[in-house]
Structure 1
Amino acid sequence: MMQDTTSRDFIRIAMAAPYLGREEEQELALNWRKHHDQDALNRIVVAHMRLVISMAAKFRHYGLPASDLIQEGHVGLLEAAARFEPEREVRFSTYATWWIRASMQDYILRNWSIVRGGTSSAQKSLFFNLRRLRARLANGNETLSSTALYEEISAALGVSTSDVATMDARLSTPDRSLNAPLTGESDSTERMDFLVSDEPWPDEIASTTIDVERRSGWLRIALRALNARELRIIEERRLKDEGVTLEELGGKLGISKERVRQIEARAMEKLKVALVKQNPEFLAA
């Protein structure tokens, strides 16, 4: 209750602050820019807080506290004051409006949903303009299909129709907790219970990856024990996704398939000896 009273008092004081004339505004801006006059900055900010409050009211339908929007707008107002160049002879309110709006919009995008949205300028424009464009296009045209509506919005904002459909679904449905109980269930069944995955656990994936890398290292070292012909036979027969037949390999090497089999068996034995010699735990693995 006290917070609401404080907010109302703040708004009343801000709305009662005197306007600044062009010359006075220029003088205060120059004093702040050249001499870092804190009093001049405070007078500029106070005189334009009504602009922050007015803009906060335009974003009230996003369901966020007005006091938070005003606070974020105040941050944008201070940023505008820090960057304002009075020598350009532009009214401060014109320049500050962009910074105030940008600050509020960034706050809304961060807090409207737990899912981050509007990461690009096009997505941001879609988020803040979708409802308005949809209402305008659908007004008086009840036969307009969702597909045609999305296509027109897509063309107007320069985004894909899939982005329009996704954003429309997000704006139409609030966030839902996966730990919330399902409606109509007598027990404590939660949505999370229906998100069972057949994929292995992350620790299992990591363990498997480490094991594969370790065994690959062992094999690379053991292959050094083979001569050139043994190495080729092992590579062709054992290390390729589709190993060649004994007969095919024998034709390439100019030997019989039985000779290929003998060399392969000898090479496999040499590999086993090399692996066990360097890594006694290999047999257990």
Structure 2
Amino acid sequence: MCKLFNKQENRDLQQNQQRRSFLKLSMASALAGLGVAAANQVMATSGVIKEPPQPENVLTPEAALERLMAGNDRYVAGHSTPLNFEHERAALVKGQNPYASILSCADSRISPEFCFDEQRGDLFVARVAGNYLTTDFVATLEYAAVVLHTPLIMVLGHESCGAIQAAIDAVDNSTQFPGHIQSIASALAPAVRAIDKQSKNRIDDVVKMNVIQNVQELKKQTPILNRLVAEKKLLVVGGVYNLKTGKVDMVA
């Protein structure tokens, strides 16, 4: 009797395991299908089309960086390309395929499109005082990378950054800022603490460190950016804009 019971119990156990395996497979298939459907929905509403409106923007990560920095060289030399908005409008009605994403400070003295001598449709720009990452900015850059197939991200800081100075004041003197400004100082505090207080060029060193830290964080972001970086489909770099010369110096 015990043997019969054990055999029946084993059969029931095997059947339960098979049912669980089937359910897992079915759920995985459903989720995969949902992912494809969701991706297709995003693609359909994002302005992305099969034939890119700007074929010249289809670049490797390395070529994208080379083009970006060549544009900065032209800007510094005073040889920026004349803007032609009429031509751009016609091309960009069909969609967009920017070749680089920029996480930039919101400072009004910094304009990525100008300092890299690019026009509309070339750069996918996200801006915030202090050029630091939040969940929303990660999502924005993921969108550019996975939907628009943008092969390059640059974190762009600049000298004499007011947000960085505020963070230094908050760390050194426990300065409290009104409204939501304190959240910016708090977000930038890790870069401040990473630099010795005795540094002769402390604010500039913190600006650089903030760029470096955010580049490192971007490269680690799962599940999209870290995979694209590992597959060498995405390059993440960092630069600092010089207010006096307009030159962007690579720091990461």
Please confirm whether the aligned pair reaches a TM-score higher than 0.5, indicating the same fold.
Answer: no
Which structure's residues are more often strand, by fraction?
A: 2
TM-score if structure 2 supplies the norm length?
Answer: 0.22
Select the structure of larger CA radius of gyration: 1
TM-score if structure 1 supplies the norm length?
Answer: 0.20
Which structure's residues are more often helix, by fraction?
A: 1
**Larger relative contact order, structure 1 or 2 (CA cutoff 8 Å, min sep 6):** 2
